A and B are shown apart, each in its own frame.
Chain A
Amino acid sequence: MIEAAALTVDMGAGQAVREASFVIAPGDRIGIVGESGCGKTMLGLALMGMVPDAGHVSGSLMIDGIQMVGAGEVTWQRLRARRVAMIFQEPMAALNPIKRVGETVMEPMMVHLGLGRDAARARALELFREVGIPDPEARLRQFPHEISGGQRQRVLIALALACDPGVLIADEPTTALDANVALRVTQLLVGLAARRTMGLVFISHDLAAVARATERVMVMYGGDIVERGATDEVLAQPRHPYTRGLLSARPSSGNMRATGGRRGRLPTIPGSVPPLAELAPGCRFAGRCPVELKVCNGARPPRQGNMICHRAEEGA
């Protein structure tokens, strides 16, 4: 159970996450979407207590009733893996190249749960089976370069599950995988969350994967959670101009026609996410927003219902 209230990550140059509030209960599956540089990963790291040294975390973050803002590394170490675990985007880089994958998975169980070598090995085998790794006995002894990307991601999922976490944060778990493998890894994560009544935070910019994996979604832009709601509602009827932009930038037969004859051109959101230091003080999206008002660049937009936008009252 994670309860965040006005959780903010200040990187010195600017706020990578600004006053994020949300609750993740056991079994919840929540998506976080947005472009690169919107603070998705930083939010994930904040939930793990792994924000880089330059970052300052404020606000409130309760994990199973313990206030973790301002907690020391030792306190975090006790919580990581058992309460919250995380898997990373690049399955090749996330495995130590000179260690057998079995060792990598067994390590935290021996260090953290105090299991002996044999017990840890047995449990690693069990986990490999649970995440659908074929021939797990042989896999345990292999090195990362000997196995495929999809299998590596499964190994990392097994590593994250080693100590039965209450919440699993998956940071772009499918981005580096091809579509077929990505689909199966997504299904695996959904299945694991259901079977273990484990919370799942699914960070991605693949909206199709998010639609499949999650029940609720939070759309992030420039560190703000600009829109949130049930995944199917948000994706079917986006209200925030940024969410609309994201959705219309997806290739589909519909938006090909919408571009009006210029075949093969996808609509885009003009510009790109500015660096932290250059984010607009008011609405972070000001400057790129197609329906911008005068007020947008100056004042911070109010949170109205499920979104943060000056145009919320008019229904954007």
Chain B
Amino acid sequence: MRKLPPNLLIGAVLVALVAGTAALSLVWTPHDHTLLNIRGKFAAPSELHWLGTDQLGRDVFSQLMVAARNSVAVALISVCLGGVIGVALGLVASAMGGVVEDVIMRIADIGFAFPALLLAIMLAAVFGPSLPVAIIAIAFINIPVFARVTRASANQIWTREYVYAARAAGMGRVSISRDHVLPNIAAPIIVQATIEFAIAILAEAALSYLGLGAQPPAPSWGRMLSEAQTLMYLAPQLAIYPGVCIVTAVLGFSLLGDGLRDITDPRLVRQR
């Protein structure tokens, strides 16, 4: 067995930490994260409140745990949604070729040029700020990314002799895409999904920071950050904790994605 690259291992540990915390928050948190205790506000870390309390006396550690769940859920839903649509479009573009491919990819280019933040602000202006709006905005920017990766990888597969053999055996574009192309491009798509996961977590934090994502009382790292901003001189730790969480999650998924690419891309392996 070849030695696994360190970025893969570190990434996997960080991702496991974040995902594990998110999962644990479903069944257990030290305190109810919404419970107010004005008299106990800005408490220092103690046995009772591991990371202290915030300006309303809520337990910070419990809030961070629930926020982790929120982050992971948003990233998961938006990346899956954008991924499925993007991969489908990429497969169609690659299978049809010609004008259809050009039209799909040029539309993807336009989507690519469109900032997620702008889209989220637009959607929030129309439908009001909410978590589903943030999810749709993040999913939307994922579509062209996956469409591009899929089309590029699929185009390579379409020139393989086994695809010619399948066509010669009378298989149609749909069944070749499903049975031959998709299984052979799974690796780059999974790598891309992992990296997009990191970007989605960052995007969710940014949107929530701006008030376009999670609405109170649902905790979110981004919203905790923005609430702590005004208290920066009074209680800097309230901004540092969610910041560390965001960094951990983003770094974890990025490293995991890099590591997966390293072990699935034979060209990179040989360089080491």
Name A's B-contacting residues (CB within 8 A): 48, 50, 53, 73, 77-78, 80-82, 85-90, 93-99, 104, 107-108, 111-112, 156, 159-160, 162-163
CB-CB nearest in chain B for A45: B164
* A80→B173 CA distance, assembly (Å): 13
Q: In whole angstroms, what is the CA distance A125 to B26 when docked?
A: 52
User: Which residues of chain A are within 8 angstroms of B160 by Cβ–Cβ distance?
Assistant: 93
Task: Please name the residue on chain B nearest to A79 by beta carbon.
Answer: B170
Identify which of A111, A159, A163 contacts B165 (C-beta below 8 A).
Answer: A159
Shortest B41–chain A CB gap in Å is: 58
**Does B170 contact A48, Cβ atoms closer than 8 Å?**
no
> Do A81 and B168 have beta carbons less than 8 Å apart?
yes
Q: Within 8 Å of chain A (Cβ to Cβ): is B231? A: no
A-B CB contact pairs (8 Å), 26 listed: A50-B167, A73-B173, A77-B172, A80-B167, A81-B169, A82-B170, A85-B168, A86-B168, A88-B161, A88-B164, A88-B165, A93-B160, A93-B161, A95-B162, A96-B166, A97-B162, A98-B183, A99-B183, A104-B162, A107-B175, A107-B179, A108-B166, A112-B169, A159-B165, A160-B169, A163-B170
Residue in A closest to B180 when the chains form the complex, CB atoms: A96
B266 within 8 A of A: no
B170 adjacent to A108 (CB under 8 Å): yes
Interface residue? B184 (CB, 8 A): yes
B168 touches A80 (CB 8 A): yes
Structural contact, A87 and B165, CB atoms closer than 8 A = yes
User: Considering the complex, which residues of chain B in the window 222-266 have a beta carbon less than 8 Å from any beta carbon of chain A?
Assistant: none
Name B's interface SS.
Answer: helix
Chain A residues positioned under 8 Å from B172 (CB to CB) = 77, 111
Query: Which B residues are CB-close (under 8 A) to A160?
Result: 168-169
Task: List 4 other contacts, CB 8 Å, given A48-B167, A85-B170, A95-B162.
Answer: A80-B168, A94-B162, A108-B166, A112-B170
Chain B interface (Cβ < 8 Å from any Cβ of A): 97-98, 160-162, 164-173, 175, 179-180, 183-184
A162 neighbours in B (Cβ, 8 Å): 169
Once the chains are docked, how many angstroms separate the CA of A304 from the CA of B190? 61
Contacts of A111 in B (CB 8 A): 170-172, 175
Question: Cβ of B167: which chain A residues have Cβ within 8 Å of it?
Answer: 48, 50, 80
* Residues of A with C-beta under 8 A to B166: 96, 104, 107-108
Bound complex: CA A78 to CA B179 (Å): 19
B183 to chain A, nearest CB (A): 6
In whole angstroms, how far apart are the Cα atoms of A86 and B164 in the complex? Answer: 9
- The reply to whether A99 and B169 contact each other, CB–CB distance below 8 Å, is no
How far apart are A47's CB and chain B's nearest CB, in angstroms? 10
Closest chain A CB from B93 CB (angstroms)? 13
Does B164 lie within 8 Å of A108, measured CB to CB? Answer: no
In the complex, residue of chain A having the shortest beta-carbon distance to the beta carbon of B184 = A98
Residues of A within 8 A of B175 (CB): 107, 111
> What chain A residues lie within 8 Å of B180 (beta carbons)?
96, 99
Nearest-CB residue, chain B, relative to A90: B161
Q: Please, how many angstroms separate the alpha-carbon atoms of A102 and B113 in the complex?
A: 45
Given contact pairs A53-B97, A107-B175, A94 touches B170 in the complex (Cβ within 8 A): no
Residues of B within 8 A of A48 (CB): 167-168
The 9 A-B residue pairs with the shortest CB-CB distance in the complex, in nearest-first order? A81-B170, A93-B161, A108-B169, A86-B168, A80-B170, A94-B161, A94-B165, A96-B162, A112-B170
A112 to chain B: closest residue by CB: B170
Q: In the bound complex, do residue B171 and residue A108 qualify as a contact, i.e. CB atoms below 8 Å apart?
A: yes
Q: From residue A97, how far is it (CB to closest CB) to chain B in Å? A: 8
The interface residues of chain A lying within 8 Å CB-to-CB of B161 are 88-90, 93-94
> Residues of B contacting A50 with CB < 8 Å?
164, 167-168
**Contact between B168 and A93, CB atoms less than 8 A apart:** no
- Smallest CB–CB gap between B157 and chain A, Å? 9
Query: How far is B165's CA from A80's CA once the two chains are assembled, in angstroms?
Result: 11
A93 closest partner in B (C-beta): B161
Instruction: Find the B residue at minimum CB distance from A169.
Output: B168
| Residues of chain A lying within 8 A (CB to CB) of residue B162 | 93-97, 104
